[in-house]
């Protein structure tokens, strides 16, 4: 496979639909998915987006760029899904309300628009993630894409092979690998966390052997905010001949990720964690794409990358919104937002530290940490605390965040906790209101509103 450039727009198009026999799929891709405004579609959604919505919204203060943002509502639930940016909403509504809703790879203008949507989004994802080669696959979310991808590796692995997973990872980056291992008789080695909630690179590297085929590791923990040293892990894994699959669902909103610099082999994320719609994004390198095949290959999706991992028709509106979210992240002052998020995280950690009944789990203040603060209040179950905070307009998650192994590693007997995530629209006032509310809860000074 060759490297995609702007002159070769077809390769990134997800091939779906019932209109193109598998043999014609590649030429359909190459012919029809290049233009940003479609090869004849009436809408021209990408130019419309650029001129009318994103430009306008980016001139506003951050919280006002989010139509769902409300004064008096304090949204700390971002690690479960952020508010959606206005430009994402605008372009999705414009697409769904317009004349260009059609399946892709047809010979008529509306269908060309769908081809252009996929190509335009891929181009923006490439820019955001620094992906020079490889291809993107879209799907419902990270779990769906990871399960699909891992399943596509089945025939490439045998009983003597080994996999490495980590104690820190979300279950969606553990269970599919464990299921594959059980089905194929592979050995799974789990890299342990330290009691303080870190995942030292050596803990992963020590579990890699000459038999290791894949290492599955998170770029940032959705439960504790831990950020492992991915570069060291990937380098060490490659030295041993292993591939690396990166779960970047939590990371993308807060860290700039450069796939080419990292050198990972596969990378997955989901746009609803970074101000976009509910849409999963999987990137796989050319080398991996060539060997990945699902047993239940559906001919309409094609047999070449990335079509062979795409099951059925693409969710074009979500792919379009994902492209807008990707462009948003490339146009925002990411460094400035990251600094602001770190300051708010430090403010929150410092505030919670003054409350004797509160125990914070996971790493302390650090520039190398995702802005997620997870804590317990002595004598108050996490679910009750979250419900009481919710009554005051403060949205936090509670439980183990589908990262039960990570939570048990830092709090074995009582892994349930409250989680507050900082997002681009979080303010100092939001954080102060949360700290004051937790202090009141902890001191039993809580009155129902
Ligand atoms: C780090 C991480 N990985 C994986 C997932 C699973 O993502 P999805 O719900 O899109 O399948 C999540 C969702 O919360 C997550 O935070």
Q: Do 271 and 297 have their domain in common?
A: yes
Give me ligand 1 centre to Cα 24, in Å.
Answer: 35
pLDDT at 3 over 60: no
Q: Indicate whether 55 belongs to any domain.
A: no
The residue among 310, 331, 352 that closes a domain is: 331
Q: Do 305 and 339 have their domain in common?
A: no
Give me ligand 1 centre to Cα 29, in Å.
Answer: 30
Distance between CA 101 and CA 258 in Å, rounded?
33
Q: Do 346 and 268 have their domain in common?
A: no
Q: Do 253 and 400 have their domain in common?
A: no
Burial class (CB in 10 A: 0-12, 13-18, 19+), 246: buried
- State the average pLDDT over residues 376-380: 97
20-29, 97-106, 308-317, 400-409: segment of lowest average pLDDT: 20-29
- State the average pLDDT over residues 96-112: 94
**Distances from the Cα of 317 to the Cα of 39, 175, 240, 268, 277, angstroms:** 18, 29, 41, 19, 9
Q: Do 176 and 320 have their domain in common?
A: yes
| pLDDT tens readout for residues 257-273 | 999 999 999 999 999 99
Number of domains in the chain: 2
pLDDT at 447 over 90: no
Q: Indicate whether 416 belongs to any domain.
A: yes
- Candidate from 250, 254, 397 with most ligand 1 atoms within 8 A of CB, to mutate: 250
219-228, 294-303, 408-417: segment of lowest average pLDDT: 294-303
pLDDT of residue 366: 87
CATH number of the domain residue 394 falls in:
3.90.1150.10
Q: Indicate whether 45 belongs to any domain.
A: no
Confidence band, pLDDT 50/70/90 cuts, at residue 1: very low
Q: Do 320 and 342 have their domain in common?
A: no
Report the atom number in ligand 1 closest to the C-alpha of 272.
Answer: 10
pLDDT of residue 101: 95
pLDDT of residue 302: 67
* Residues ≥6 apart with Cβ < 8 Å to 256: 334
The residue among 297, 331, 365 that closes a domain is: 331
Q: Do 207 and 291 have their domain in common?
A: yes
Q: Indicate whether 129 belongs to any domain.
A: yes
CATH number of the domain residue 140 falls in:
3.40.640.10
pLDDT of residue 351: 98
pLDDT at 32 over 80: no
Q: Do 308 and 339 have their domain in common?
A: no
Query: Who wins on pLDDT, 313 or 385?
Result: 385
Are 305 and 1 in contact by the 8 Å Cβ rule? The answer is: yes
Q: Do 324 and 344 have their domain in common?
A: no
Q: Do 243 and 348 have their domain in common?
A: no
pLDDT of residue 296: 75
Q: Do 289 and 378 have their domain in common?
A: no
pLDDT of residue 41: 41
Q: Indicate whether 68 belongs to any domain.
A: no
Give me ligand 1 centre to Cα 172, in Å.
Answer: 7
Are 131 and 2 in contact by the 8 Å Cβ rule? The answer is: no
Q: What is the mean pLDDT of the chain?
A: 88
Q: Indicate whether 432 belongs to any domain.
A: yes
Distance between CA 283 and CA 30 in Å, rounded?
20
Confidence band, pLDDT 50/70/90 cuts, at residue 448: low
CB atoms closer than 10 angstroms to residue 1: 14
pLDDT of residue 49: 66
Q: Do 139 and 213 have their domain in common?
A: yes
pLDDT at 208 over 80: yes
Q: Which residues lie with the beta carbon below 6 Å from any ligand 1 atom?
A: 79-80, 141-143, 170, 172-173, 218, 222, 247, 249-250, 270, 280
- State the average pLDDT over residues 120-142: 96
pLDDT of residue 306: 74
Q: Is the dihedral of CA 341, 343, 347, 350 positive or negative?
A: positive
Give me ligand 1 centre to Cα 8, in Å.
Answer: 32
Q: Indicate whether 351 belongs to any domain.
A: yes
- Residue numbers of the domain that contains 392: 334-442
pLDDT of residue 16: 30
Q: Indicate whether 86 belongs to any domain.
A: no
- State the average pLDDT over residues 232-254: 98
Distance between CA 434 and CA 449 in Å, rounded?
15
């Amino acid at each position: 496979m060759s490297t995609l450039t702007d002159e070769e727009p077809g390769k990134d198009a997800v091939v779906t639909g019932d209109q193109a026999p598998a043999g014609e799929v590649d030429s359909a891709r190459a012919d029809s998915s290049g233009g940003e405004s479609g090869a004849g579609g009436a809408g021209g959604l990408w130019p419309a987006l650029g001129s009318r919505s994103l430009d306008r919204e980016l001139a506003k203060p951050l919280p006002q760029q989010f139509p769902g943002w409300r004064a008096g509502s304090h949204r700390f639930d971002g690690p479960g899904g952020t508010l959606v940016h206005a430009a994402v909403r605008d372009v999705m509504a414009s697409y769904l309300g317009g004349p260009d809703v059609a399946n892709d790879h047809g010979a008529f203008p509306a269908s060309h628009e769908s081809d252009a949507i996929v190509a335009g989004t891929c181009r923006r994802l490439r820019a955001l993630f620094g992906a020079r080669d490889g291809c993107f696959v879209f799907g419902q979310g990270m779990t769906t894409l990871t399960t699909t991808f891992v399943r596509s590796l089945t025939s490439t692995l045998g009983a003597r092979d080994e996999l490495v997973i980590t104690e820190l990872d979300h279950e969606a980056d553990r269970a599919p690998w464990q299921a594959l291992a059980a089905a194929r008789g592979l050995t799974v080695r789990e890299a342990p966390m330290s009691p303080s909630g870190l995942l030292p690179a050596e803990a992963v590297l020590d579990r890699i052997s000459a038999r290791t085929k894949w290492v599955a590791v998170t770029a940032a923990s959705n439960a504790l905010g831990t950020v492992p040293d991915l570069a060291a892990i990937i380098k060490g894994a490659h030295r041993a001949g292993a591939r690396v699959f990166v779960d970047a669902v939590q990371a993308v909103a807060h860290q700039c990720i450069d796939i080419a610099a990292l050198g990972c082999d596969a990378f997955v994320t989901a746009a609803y964690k970074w101000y976009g719609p509910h849409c999963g994004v999987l990137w796989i390198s050319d080398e991996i794409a060539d060997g990945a095949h699902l047993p239940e290959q559906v001919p309409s999706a094609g047999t070449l990358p990335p079509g062979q991992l795409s099951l059925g028709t693409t969710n074009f509106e979500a792919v379009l919104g994902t492209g807008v979210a990707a462009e948003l992240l490339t146009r925002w002052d990411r460094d400035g937002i990251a600094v602001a998020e770190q300051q708010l995280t430090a403010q929150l950690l410092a505030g919670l530290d003054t409350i004797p009944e509160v125990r914070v789990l996971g790493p302390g203040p650090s520039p190398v940490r995702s802005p997620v603060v997870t804590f317990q209040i002595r004598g108050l179950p996490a679910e009750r605390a979250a419900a009481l905070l919710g009554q005051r307009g403060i949205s936090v998650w509670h439980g183990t965040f589908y990262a039960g192994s990570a939570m048990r590693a830092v709090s074995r007997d009582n892994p349930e906790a409250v989680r507050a995530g900082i997002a681009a629209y979080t303010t100092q006032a939001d954080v102060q209101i949360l700290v004051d509310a937790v202090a009141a809860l902890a001191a039993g000074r809580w009155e129902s509103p």
